[in-house]
A = this chain, B = another copy of it.
């Protein structure tokens, strides 16, 4: 009995499995989803399932809290300028060690232990993420991405590996840089012309009212973005994030998902079930029934704001 239901669930996933087969997806992994062990396990399981049904996976991760923790142990002081960590040479060494040495390889070990086939890389390998110093402020070894050389990622995917990438960049003289994870994931997705960029965050998606989960925007189209910004619905820190997404859309990425990484199996739920969760950003209305009711609601919301 219960088995039939399980079988039915597997069968229901068929059209989604078919749709995603052979596609490349870049997953930005961070926040709560990295801290809570249960959630971490659920993310790894999601990646494995994606991998088994033929999706090429690039997992891009940061690791701010663990960096802070290690800096504290070493009594290295850290300061932030507009949300970016000032990174002197001593700090950069710790950033590199924690991201590329600890978190990256631990993720790889976890994926492999769960039955996957992962490789751990960072922007230094084959000069993958070429950087120069951040331009807006003097932030030491905070890097601005000049170019993504995706050859080593493509080699890895072709050989069947899940590519796990620590967001360390490399400069002209081999010096390393601290790179923003969202931007790195977006630039990699653009270079790979990935089908999807999936951002695991600590929010339910884009909210019309930041404190009300019921105002989630389920599907956001490029053409509506400007209006929503003008109307003050997308504000503050969301503005550059959304602009980054629009940039990715215009560079060949088909869809961007902002998912709530705090919910177990949020990726699988979005990719393989009838329920859409989080916010989907895409070029125009794809008429998906998943989002039907909610899309109407946002239309109303937009009307109300006029």
A interface residues (Cβ-Cβ under 8 A, vs B): 3-15, 17-18, 21, 42, 45-46, 48-49, 52-54, 73-74, 93, 96-102, 104-106, 108-110, 112-115, 117-122, 124-127, 152, 155, 159, 161, 168, 170, 172-176, 263-265, 268-269, 272-275, 277
* Closest Cβ neighbor of A105 among chain B residues: B124
Q: Given the complex of chains A and B, what is the CA–CA distance between A13 and B46 in angstroms?
A: 11
- Contact check, A45 vs B14: say whether CB atoms are below 8 A apart: yes
- Contact check, A52 vs B49: say whether CB atoms are below 8 A apart: no
Q: Given the complex of chains A and B, what is the CA–CA distance between A231 and B127 in angstroms?
A: 49
- Contact check, B112 vs A102: say whether CB atoms are below 8 A apart: no
- Contact check, B15 vs A126: say whether CB atoms are below 8 A apart: no
Shortest C-beta distance, A269 to chain B (Å), equals: 5
Q: Given the complex of chains A and B, what is the CA–CA distance between A96 and B98 in angstroms?
A: 9
Query: Which residues of chain B come closer than 8 Å to A53, judged between CB atoms?
Result: 17, 52-53
Query: Which residues of chain B come closer than 8 Å to A161, judged between CB atoms?
Result: 126, 152
Q: Given the complex of chains A and B, what is the CA–CA distance between A124 and B10 in angstroms?
A: 27
Query: Which residues of chain B come closer than 8 Å to A7, judged between CB atoms?
Result: 264-265, 268-269, 272-273
Q: Given the complex of chains A and B, what is the CA–CA distance between A4 and B46 in angstroms?
A: 12
- Contact check, B118 vs A126: say whether CB atoms are below 8 A apart: yes
Provide a sorted-by-A list of 19 A–B residue pairs whose CB atoms are within 8 angstroms.
A3-B269, A4-B269, A7-B273, A8-B265, A10-B13, A11-B42, A11-B49, A11-B265, A14-B48, A14-B49, A14-B115, A52-B53, A101-B102, A106-B176, A108-B124, A113-B173, A119-B152, A126-B161, A152-B161
* Closest Cβ neighbor of A74 among chain B residues: B73
Q: Given the complex of chains A and B, what is the CA–CA distance between A10 and B74 in angstroms?
A: 44
Q: Given the complex of chains A and B, what is the CA–CA distance between A219 and B265 in angstroms?
A: 34
- Contact check, A15 vs B112: say whether CB atoms are below 8 A apart: no
Q: Given the complex of chains A and B, what is the CA–CA distance between A274 and B99 in angstroms?
A: 38
Q: Given the complex of chains A and B, what is the CA–CA distance between A9 and B161 in angstroms?
A: 25
Q: For A115, A268, A277, which residue has the most chain B Cβ atoms within 10 angstroms?
A: A268
Query: Which residues of chain B come closer than 8 Å to A3, judged between CB atoms?
Result: 269, 273-275, 277
Extra contacts, 10 of them, besides A11-B268, A14-B49 (Cβ < 8 A), are: A3-B273, A3-B275, A6-B269, A7-B264, A11-B265, A17-B52, A105-B176, A119-B126, A120-B122, A155-B155
- Contact check, B4 vs A110: say whether CB atoms are below 8 A apart: no
- Contact check, A118 vs B112: say whether CB atoms are below 8 A apart: no
Query: Which residues of chain B come closer than 8 Å to A108, judged between CB atoms?
Result: 124-125
Among B74, B118, B168, contact of A105 (Cβ-Cβ < 8 Å): B168
Query: Which residues of chain B come closer than 8 Å to A99, judged between CB atoms?
Result: 101
Shortest C-beta distance, A204 to chain B (Å), equals: 14
Q: Given the complex of chains A and B, what is the CA–CA distance between A168 and B105 in angstroms?
A: 10
- Contact check, B98 vs A48: say whether CB atoms are below 8 A apart: no
